[in-house]
Amino acid sequence: MERLSGLDATFLYLETPTHHMHVAMTMVLDPSTMPGGYSFGAIKAFIASRTDRIPPFRRRLVSVPLNLHHPVWVEDPEFDIDYHIRRIGAPAPGGRRELGEMAAQIASIPLDRSRPLWEMWVVEGLKQDRIGVVSKVHHCAIDGASGAELMVHLFDLDPADAVVDGPPPDLPSERVPTDVELIGHAVTSKARRTMGLAPLLSQTVRSVSRVVQGRRGPDGHVGAVPLSAPRVPWNGPTSGRRDVGFARVPLATVKELKVDLGCTVNDAVLALCAGTLRRYLQDHDALPDEPLVAVCPVSVRAEGDGPGNRVSALFTTLATHLDDPIERVAAIRATTKGAKEEHNAVGATMLQDWAEFAGPNVFNLASRLYSSMNLANAHRPVHNMIVSNVPGPPFPLYFAGAEAVAAYPMGPVMEGCGLNVTVFSYMGSVDIGFMVDKELVPDVWAMADAVEPALAELVAAAGRFADLAPRSEAPAPEVATGTTAGPTRSAPKGRTRKAAAPKTSARKRPASKSAASKPSAPSAPKATTQRKTTQKAAAPEASAGNACEPEGDEGQSRDEEGGPEQEAGAGRRCGP
C-alpha cells in the first residue's frame, strides 16, 4: 500500500465529468518488423509480459472513508489484462485524420477508477498496412517525464527482443486494507504532515519576497502573470468532448533556428506555437491585442524518483501581438528567462509541498462547483494554453516488434482552457499533438495545418536576421534539414537584431565547414545566394521529416518517419 502524494491526488480532485485528467499518446507503428507478423493477440501477449515492470499498470486506487486523506495505491487482486487492451478499426481511408478521430473518441471517455488507471487501444485499418496504438494513463499516476521512463519497458531497440517465450509473469497480490486500517493510517499520516506546515509557511514567505524584489528591480527579467491572459475562443467552460490534431516538423530545422535566432530549442518551439496560434486566430478574426499566456510544465524529477508527478510550472508569454517573428522570439526569450528566474526563486518543490495540504473534500467540491457554475467565464483566463515538451530518443524504437513511425503526445485540457499542445522529439522529428475541447475548438486540424506556414515564417525570418547580424569569417557547418519549408542559415549564437530595415539579398554558403567563431568586431553582411539543403541517405540527420505531406498520408509515409538524430544530448529536454 502506498499513499498518493498531494500533487498526484490533486489531479484526481480536479477531475469532473467534463474535465478528464488522463494523459495520452497516439503512435503509428509499422508491423512489418513484428516477428511472425502482426496479430492483435501478439500485441496483447507482449504487453501482458511487461506489466510486472510497470507499477501503475497493475495498481488501483482505494479511497479513505470520508475522504480523510489522499487515496492509496494497492496491487489489484483482480487485474484483468483483457479490460485494458482493446482494438478498433479506423474508418476509410485510414489516414492521419481518421486516426485522430479515433484518438479523440478514446480521449473523451474517462478512466474507470475501480481498475488500474490505464487503457491501450489498437487501431487497425490504417494506410500502408500500418496500425495505431492510442494509450491513456491517468495523470495521478504519471507525468510526462515519468511516463517516458515507464514506457521504456514497453519499447525495445531490436524487434527480436519482443518475442514472448512463455506465459505472462505472476503479478504481486495485495490484500485491500479495511476501512479501520485506512482511517488509522490516514490519521497518523495527517499528524506527521501538520508538523511541516510552519517551516513551509516560512519558506513561502521568503520565496514570495524574492519574487517581489526581482520584479521591482529595473534590470530584472520577469515571467508572465496568471490571470492576465486575454480571452480567446478556447478559453471557457469545457465539455466532455475532445478532439485531437497532429503535426510534425524536422528536429534539425528547429535546432538550426535555435542557432540562427540565438535562442534555446524550447524558445524556438514556443515561437512555433506562437506563430501557429497567431495564424489560427487571424483566420478566425479573434487575434487579441494582448499576448497569449502559456503555462509550461517543468520536470523537477530527481534521480531515483519513482512513478508519480514531480512537476512544477512557469508562465510565459507567446508574444502573439507582435507582427515581426524576430521581435516575437526576442520577447519569448526574455519572458522565459524571467519565468525561470522566478521559478528558481520560488523553489522547484513549492507546488508539490503545498499540494500535500490539499483537502480532498474541499478541493473536489470546489472543482465541481467551478465547472458546473461555468465560473471560467467570470474572470480573466488564468492562462490561454498549456505547452509541454517531453523528451524522446534519437533512435528508432520497437513496440511489440513493430517499428514506431511517429508518436503524438496528447496532454489534458484544463477547465477554462480548452487547448493543450504537447511536443515530443523522436528520431529526427518533432511530433506535436493538439488536444482541444471540441465545443471550444471545432476545427482542430485548421490549427494543426497552421504549423507548416508558421515554421516557414520562422525560417524566412531567421534568414533575414542572419543577413542583418554581423558574421565571422569562419562560417557555421551546413546542416541537412530535410524540409521543404525553406532554406535556413546559421549565425553566431546570441546575436541581437539590429534596428535597420531588412535587406532582400541572398547569400551563398562558403565552402568551409568549420564552426562559427565569435568575431572581434562586427562585419558587414555579405551578398550570397540561397543555400540548398542536402539529403544523403547515409547522413545521420538526413530525411529528418517532411513538413509538407499530402492530405490523408500524413503520419503514414516513410518520409514522415525521419532519420535518427545523432546529436549528443538530443531528446533530453524537459520544459522551457
**Residue position matching grid coordinates 470520508:** 66
455: left (phi over 0), alpha (psi -120 to 50) or beta: alpha
Show the cell assigned to 231.
480571452
Show the cell assigned to 512.
568551409
DSSP string, 351-398: HHHHHTT--HHHHHHHHHHHHHTTGGGSS--S-SEEEEEE---SS--E
Please count the CA atoms within 13 angstroms of the CA of 463 that sit on its side-chain side: 23
**Catalytic hit among 84, 139, 343, 383:** 139
- Taking the C-alpha atoms of residue 410 and residue 425, their distance in angstroms, rounded to an integer, is 13
Q: What per-residue string of b and e applies to 317-341 under the rule 16 or more CB within 10 Å gives b?
A: bbbbbbeebbebbbbbbbbbbbbbb
Show the cell assigned to 429.
522529428
**Catalytic status, residue 139:** yes
Measured in whole angstroms, how far is the alpha carbon of residue 202 from the centre of its chain?
Answer: 34
Measured in whole angstroms, how far is the alpha carbon of residue 132 from the centre of its chain?
Answer: 19
The dihedrals phi and psi of 34, each to the nearest 5 degrees, come to: -70, 130
> Any idea what DSSP says for residue 538?
T
Express the helix, strand and coil content of the chain in percent, nearest 5 each: 35, 20, 45
Q: In what order do the strands lie in the sheet with 85-89?
A: 85-89, 118-124, 131-138, 22-30, 402-410, 398-399, 155-156
- In angstroms, the Cα distances linking 354 to 21, 194, 289, 563 are 20, 12, 35, 44
CA angle 312, 15, 432 (to 5 degrees): 55
**Number of residues written out for the chain:** 576
Q: What per-residue string of b and e applies to 133-163 under the rule 16 or more CB within 10 Å gives b?
A: bbbbbbbbbbbbbbbbebbeebbbeebeebe
Q: What per-residue string of b and e applies to 342-374 under the rule 16 or more CB within 10 Å gives b?
A: bbebbbbebbbbbbbebebeebbeebbebbeee
Can you state the angle between helices 265-283 and 325-346, rounded to 10 degrees? Answer: 120
SS3 261: helix
> Any idea what DSSP says for residue 56?
G
Cβ atoms of 518 and 472 closer than 8 Å: yes
SS3 210: helix
Residues annotated as catalytic (active site), given as ranges: 139
